[in-house]
Homo-oligomer: A and B are copies of this chain.
C-alpha cells in the first residue's frame, strides 16, 4: 500500500445504503415542500388547514362515511389525532358523527352536504395546484413512480418491509 489512493473529490458512486438514505432525505424534503405550498394555498384561498382538507378528501370518496380507525390508517396519522381534526370539522358543520348499530364502539364520520359542497369547491383547484407543483414529472415518470411507491406505505405500516 505504498501508493496513495487518489482522493475522490466527487464520489458519484456511493454504496447502495448511502444512496437509499440520500433518496429518503430527498423524499422527505420534497413532500414537506409540497405540503407547505399546499397548506399555504389552502389557508389563503379557502381558510382550511391541510389536515382538515386531507380528512375531507378522504371522506369525499365514501358517501357512506368511514370509521375513525380506517380514517387514521388511510391518512397515516395516529388515531388520537383524528379525533381533534374531526372535532373541528364537526364544529364547522362540515362533518357529521354517526353511531352505527352493528358496532357500538365505532363512530362513522361523514361529510355533511355543506362539507361535500365545500370540498367540491376546493378539489378541482387543489388538483390543479398539485399538477403544477409536480409538472417536472412526465406521464411516464409519474406511472413509474406510482408503481414504485404502490403499496410500500401499507407494507411498511404492517411490518412487511422490515423483519
Contact B33 A156 (CB under 8 A): yes
Contact B142 A20 (CB under 8 A): yes
The distance in angstroms between the C-alpha atoms of A150 and B130, with both chains bound, is: 18
The distance in angstroms between the C-alpha atoms of A13 and B17, with both chains bound, is: 35
Number of interface residues, chain A, beta carbon within 8 A:
53
Hey, which chain B residues are within 8 Å of A80, CB to CB?
A: none
The distance in angstroms between the C-alpha atoms of A17 and B27, with both chains bound, is: 21
Contact B146 A37 (CB under 8 A): no
Instruction: Check A102 for interface membership: any CB of B closer than 8 A.
Output: no
Contact B76 A29 (CB under 8 A): yes
Q: How far is the CB of A65 from chain B (nearest CB, A)?
A: 20
How many copies of the shown chain assemble into the complex?
A: 2
Contact B26 A153 (CB under 8 A): yes
The distance in angstroms between the C-alpha atoms of A160 and B19, with both chains bound, is: 26
Instruction: Check A83 for interface membership: any CB of B closer than 8 A.
Output: no
Contact A161 B136 (CB under 8 A): yes
In the assembled complex, 14 residue pairs joining A and B whose CB atoms fall closer than 8 Å, in A order, are A16-B142, A19-B146, A20-B131, A23-B134, A23-B142, A23-B146, A23-B149, A26-B146, A26-B150, A27-B27, A28-B31, A132-B161, A132-B162, A144-B144
Interface on A for B, CB 8 Å cutoff? Answer: 16-24, 26-37, 75-77, 127-137, 139, 141-146, 148-150, 152-157, 161-162
